[in-house]
Amino acid sequence: MRVMTSCVARRGWLHGAAATLAAPLLAAFAGSRAWASAERRIVSVGGALTETLYALGAQAELVGVDTTSLYPQAARQLPSVGYARALSAEGVLSLRPTLVVASEEAGPPAVLRQIESAQVPLMLLHTDYRFEGVLTRTLRLAGLCGRVQEGRALVAEMERSWSQTQAVLARRASVGKAAPRVLFVLSHSMAQVRVAGSGTAADAMIRYAGGVNVLGHVEGYKPLTPEAAIAAAPDLILATEQGLQAAGGIDGLLKAPGLAQTPAGRARRVVAQDALVLLGFGPRLPQAVAALAEALHGKLA
């Protein structure tokens, strides 16, 4: 059974029709002999999706992952199909998958069409930078791999953790301190440093953690310019651990245009977290928000 009929259809499915189509699709898969547990072979393209499949107990059915699938450690031992945005049809199909699950950023489109043409079910899951979106994606993955009960249990645990995190944030907000003004810098290559505006995972995490994204008035990721950095005047600079390492540490990062001239740069207030934890929006989201809030507010204390 083909999940998608074209890459154009993918966009429509991802939005308004998703709720309507999801139930019959999952029911069809669950009732198909080809989807019996012993025969299921899953390729996962997206670190958060892979992490979720492990949390659901479906790791024995994983036969391949992309290069962003770094957690848990065991995922790194699986065959790699390359970077999510630069997949090769041959690499994916050589693993003889019965299902490919991927985030909607996966591509290129021509490769996705080739996978579809090979009659391999391809499920593209909507990237939603909300806690509710993580729950929805978890339940869909659970249905696809025949672990509905495990999915419900995982969602319930995430909801408990989220409630605890929100209670901590509410207590912090009641103190009345000003929200930290944060600039997220994506610096995996110092030749192309970018900053995060609205509609990004970084923006959502900053807001969830009780901060203010100083570039929340722009949309998406933009190249860093000294004028924009200085005008934004962030209290803190947020980066990924991988990006900070690639930059050569705090000293290297502050060499990026304008950063050293900001309040955050002058005080060397830089917070770095693991990229998958910070931006992945996977099962560890409640803990990631709590850790980020602690780091942001603690740095200003």
Same domain, 147 and 217: no
Same domain, 116 and 210: no
Same domain, 128 and 93: yes
With 0.75 as the threshold, say if the pTM is over it.
yes
Is 9's pLDDT higher than 90?
Answer: no
What is the rounded distance in angstroms from the CA atom of residue 300 to the CA atom of residue 293? 11
CA 212 to chain centre: 20
163: in domain: no
203: in domain: yes
Same domain, 144 and 186: no
166: in domain: no
Query: Which pLDDT score is estimated for 7?
Result: 39
Query: Which residues is 44 bridged to in the sheet?
Result: 65, 101
Query: Which pLDDT score is estimated for 178?
Result: 87
Same domain, 76 and 210: no
Q: How confident is the model at residue 282 (pLDDT cuts 50, 70, 90)?
A: very high
185: in domain: yes
Same domain, 121 and 229: no
Count of structural domains, the chain = 2
Length of the chain: 301
222: in domain: yes
- pLDDT tens column, 161-218: 999 999 999 998 888 788 999 999 998 777 789 999 999 999 999 999 999 999 999 9
Same domain, 147 and 181: no
- pLDDT tens column, 100-111: 999 999 999 999
217: in domain: yes
In this structure, of 26-35, 226-235, 253-262, 282-291, the range with the lowest mean pLDDT score is 26-35
Q: Which string of b and e fits 241-271 if b means at least 16 CB within 10 Å?
A: ebbbebbeebeebbebebbbebebbeeebbb
Query: Which residues is 278 bridged to in the sheet?
Result: none
Closest CA to 186 of 142, 242, 235, 137: 242
Q: How confident is the model at residue 38 (pLDDT cuts 50, 70, 90)?
A: low
Same domain, 116 and 185: no
Query: How much is the average pLDDT of 66-85?
Result: 96
Same domain, 25 and 140: yes
Alpha carbon distance, N-terminus to C-terminus of the chain = 56
Query: How much is the average pLDDT of 237-247?
Result: 95
CATH of the domain at 109: 3.40.50.1980
Query: How much is the average pLDDT of 83-109?
Result: 96
- pLDDT tens column, 126-149: 989 999 999 999 999 999 999 999
Give me Rg for the CA atoms of the chain. 20
Instruction: Write out the two tokens for 109.
Output: 């489109």
Domain carrying residue 237 = 177-300
Q: Which whole-number Å values give the CA distances from 34 to 31, 76, 121, 139, 246, in the listed order? A: 9, 27, 11, 21, 44
Percent of the chain with pLDDT over 90: 80
167: in domain: no
Same domain, 15 and 151: yes
Same domain, 70 and 11: yes
Same domain, 28 and 106: yes
171: in domain: no
Residue that wins the pLDDT comparison between 11 and 46: 46
Q: Which string of b and e fits 207-233 if b means at least 16 CB within 10 Å?
A: bbbbbebbbbebeebeebeeebbbebe
